[in-house]
Structure 1
Amino acid sequence: MKLQTTQVYIPPGVIDLGLGNPHPNLLPLDLLHQSAQACFERNDPACLQYGAEAGNGYFRRALSTFLSRSYGFPVAADNLFVTAGASSGLDLLCTLYTQPGDVIFVEEPSYFLALRIFADHGLRPVSIQTDEAGLVIEDLEQNLKRFRPRLLYIIPTYQNPSGQTLSPERRERLADISRKHDLLVVADEVYHFLNYNGRPPRPLAGYAQNTKIVSLNSFSKILAPGLRLGWIQADSSIIHRLSLCGLLDSGGGMNSFVSALVRSLLENGKLEAHIDRLKTVYAGRIPTVEAALRQYLPGAIYTRPQGGYFFWVRLPGVDTQHLQEQAKAFKVDIRPGVRFSSQKGMSEYFRLCFAYYEANEIKRGIRRLGKCLQSMGQPGV
């Protein structure tokens, strides 16, 4: 009997268009084998000890060099804190900066599993409008007159699920608002490195110095999610507070061993080469997905992704939660929009991911979805 080893199980024959995972073929076993070998050849057992609270110093130095190169501005190691992935970082921030019953602001739509983390902490999300340029600053300002949120959670670049990117002008205004209102802004920037059409705007990490802007990031999208390795970039005062928490006082820094394994990939440039490969693969799938949407769902409304993992598709007049139920008979799955809404809205939307399947398999899944809509009396929408 084969035992389950991964979080998601896809039944045989089913095409899960909503699954936001990289395919196993894109997980670089060879690179990690080389990196692990380099780690063990150092013959330093310190990586097996309780780790420094903010993270392995050599790893943080290597990460700061990588980020400085990638972002185009200097990133100090003292402004970095190692996590067990972006979700772990978000959970820790909620633990230290919120109390049950607190109001927080989230985008509409937002990452549905972040909403689960907020629910675990008993937080009350208030949605802020978004448009094609990301978070609507005017709506944020209006809601700040009504509420005193403990934090704003935002995915500023290639947003999950919408694919939107916050414009440079709005980033500047958001930084000003954070300073003016002493607002903790938690920026989930895990898709920032997956750009397919020009460079993205300056990350919100670049506004962190002397503000309460905190950038979450991760190796899950650019290397392998099973590593459970990520980082927080923030002002040194926030890094200090994180480092003093009871969790780390008891258990030491997060993921000390894995960070030691990954370190050489940061130092030898092989991580950047791997990211370039991922961008080539993912970008190459987008034209086929677009063509399939036009052919099998001609009434669908969407914006071509400029980066990240997702198409955010609207089917006017279709309840996508009902569509998901009906699609089971056609062996295709999606993630309905209502899951990404803190207000139970977005009922005509669904998320389509192009990271897991090859382009032709995605096309086959979209064709199945079109047949499902035909069976519902809504051919092509």
Structure 2
Amino acid sequence: MDAPACHTDIIDFGKGQPSLSLLPVAAWRTAADHCLAHGDARLLQYGVDEGDEGFRESLAQFLSRRYAMPVATTELVVSAGASQALDLVCTRFTRAGDIIFVEEPTYFLALDIFRDHGLQVVGIPIDEEGIRIDALQDALVHHRPAFLYTIPSFQNPSGTTMSAARREQLIAASRMHDLLVVADEVYQLLDFGTVPPAPLATHVHTARVLSLGSFSKICAPGLRLGWIQGAPDVLHTITQSGVVQSGGGLSPFVSGVMRSLIDLGLADAVLDGLRRVYAERSAVLCRAMRELLPAVTFVEPTGGYFVWAQLPAERSASQFLSVARAGGVAFHPGTRFSSGGGFARHMRLSFAHYDAPELVEGVRRLAHALAG
């Protein structure tokens, strides 16, 4: 096959974000008008440490419906997205030099946050049911981690969903070892019809669990609005952060508009629309990969944003990336998601950002580059 022409229009499967067409501008305008019509100037003032109470009440009702479990306002603290929540957790529960556990592989930007805090990262392998409890138990013999970071549902990057049995085993290990579990549950509500097991947020009162959520994945990233769910005594440690105290809580105005989006039923409509679109885009990407990349192995996801694909035995994803870029397509190589440089043959492909024709064309370019 001839070498591909050099493209300037890169199709970047590394973009873990929605396309502009999916951002709910009209719904947000409606919600903003509804919010401002009340004339409540307190939205433009410093807020309380936990976050606006009215918003937390609406969020609790929204999560109670979506999680099919009761969520109380007192279990919620507002954050400026899940990344900032994770940074707060590191600030309040760790010191430089502490050991933490992560899944192997895991979200690469979380690894960057941990490095910013000077933490030592120990990877715990996963399988098709999620984190391996036998490996976790072995690691706990040798280490006393400050916390375990896990992405239980539609994991980034692998797409794996932790089974109900594995979740129960993880919570049992948490109780036995007094292990803080930090659950990044931003994809929990993004299933394609197969609902994942109950979130680890279910256990905030029975084990040391903090659950991180965000509207970045279920509404719009630019809102920079999320939440931390936990037992009130654990959340108190978060709200004593200097950043929270000095800032007078987080995102009071955006919280007010999001409250209107929830109360008007628009948040549910936006989320359900995203689930439909992502299910369609995932199916398109996977079908194209089966047809055009038969030598690449993967498991079709049942939710989330990503396909975790493995190249043939002789190929390095990092080396292949330069060839792929010359052919007009990009992705994140697997080593970015490893605490120890593993997964050299893997690549993470996101289907969230592109419509069907671009997804198919991107796979065609990958196939051309792989065959070159």
Name the TM-score, length of structure 2 as normaliser.
0.96
Paired with 1:12 and 1:210, the residues of 2 have a C-alpha distance of 53
Paired with 1:295 and 1:356, the residues of 2 have a C-alpha distance of 21
After superposition, the C-alpha distances for 1:227-258 in whole angstroms (9 at most, x for unaligned) are 00000000111111212222222111011111
Q: Trace 1:308-347 onto structure 2 (pairs within 5 A).
A: 308-317=304-313, 318-347=315-344
Letter in 1 for 2:350: C
Letter in 1 for 2:356: A
**2:158 alignment partner in structure 1:** 162
After superposition, the C-alpha distances for 1:25-49 in whole angstroms (9 at most, x for unaligned) are 0000001101111111110100111
1:197: Cα distance to partner?
A: 2.8
Q: Give 4+ residue runs of structure 1 displaced > 2 Å after superposition.
A: none
1:21: Cα distance to partner?
A: 0.7
Letter in 1 for 2:157: P
Paired with 2:207 and 2:290, the residues of 1 have a C-alpha distance of 45
**1:355 alignment partner in structure 2:** 352
1:35 partner SS: helix
**1:378 alignment partner in structure 2:** none
1:264 partner SS: helix
2:165 partner SS: helix
Pairing 1:215–2:211 present: yes
Letter in 1 for 2:369: C
Q: Trace 1:167-206 onto structure 2 (pairs within 5 A).
A: 167-206=163-202
Unaligned 5+ runs, structure 2: 1-6
Paired with 1:354 and 1:272, the residues of 2 have a C-alpha distance of 22
Paired with 2:283 and 2:242, the residues of 1 have a C-alpha distance of 49
Percent identical residues:
47
Select the residue among 18, 22, 42 that pairs with 1:22. 18
Select the residue among 79, 98, 102 that pairs with 2:98. 102
Unaligned 5+ runs, structure 1: 1-10, 376-381
Moved more, 149-158 or 292-301: 292-301
Moved more, 284-293 or 13-22: 284-293
Paired with 1:197 and 1:61, the residues of 2 have a C-alpha distance of 27
Moved more, 291-300 or 108-117: 291-300
2:352 partner SS: coil
**2:54 alignment partner in structure 1:** 58
1:223: Cα distance to partner?
A: 0.5
Paired with 2:193 and 2:131, the residues of 1 have a C-alpha distance of 21
Paired with 1:66 and 1:328, the residues of 2 have a C-alpha distance of 42
Pairing 1:292–2:288 present: yes
Contact kept, 8 Å, 2:31 with 2:264, in 1: the verdict is: no
1:221 partner SS: helix
Paired with 1:263 and 1:243, the residues of 2 have a C-alpha distance of 21
1:32 partner SS: helix
**2:362 alignment partner in structure 1:** 365
**2:4 alignment partner in structure 1:** none
Select the residue among 143, 146, 151 that pairs with 1:150. 146
Paired with 2:241 and 2:288, the residues of 1 have a C-alpha distance of 50
Letter in 2 for 1:359: A
State the structure with bigger RCO (CA 8 A, min sep 6), 1 or 2.
2
Paired with 2:167 and 2:86, the residues of 1 have a C-alpha distance of 20
Select the residue among 233, 237, 244 that pairs with 2:229. 233
Pairing 1:134–2:138 present: no
Aligned pairs, number: 365
After superposition, the C-alpha distances for 1:67-117 in whole angstroms (9 at most, x for unaligned) are 111111110000000000000000000001001111100001000000000
Paired with 2:14 and 2:240, the residues of 1 have a C-alpha distance of 38
Coordinate RMSD, CA, aligned: 1.0
Q: Would the alpha carbon gap of residues 12 and 272 (structure 1) be closer, same or farther in structure 2, given more than 3 Å must change?
A: farther
**1:261 alignment partner in structure 2:** 257
Letter in 1 for 2:245: D
Name the TM-score, length of structure 1 as normaliser.
0.94
Letter in 2 for 1:153: Y
2:218 partner SS: coil
1:287: Cα distance to partner?
A: 2.5
Paired with 2:82 and 2:361, the residues of 1 have a C-alpha distance of 32
**1:39 alignment partner in structure 2:** 35
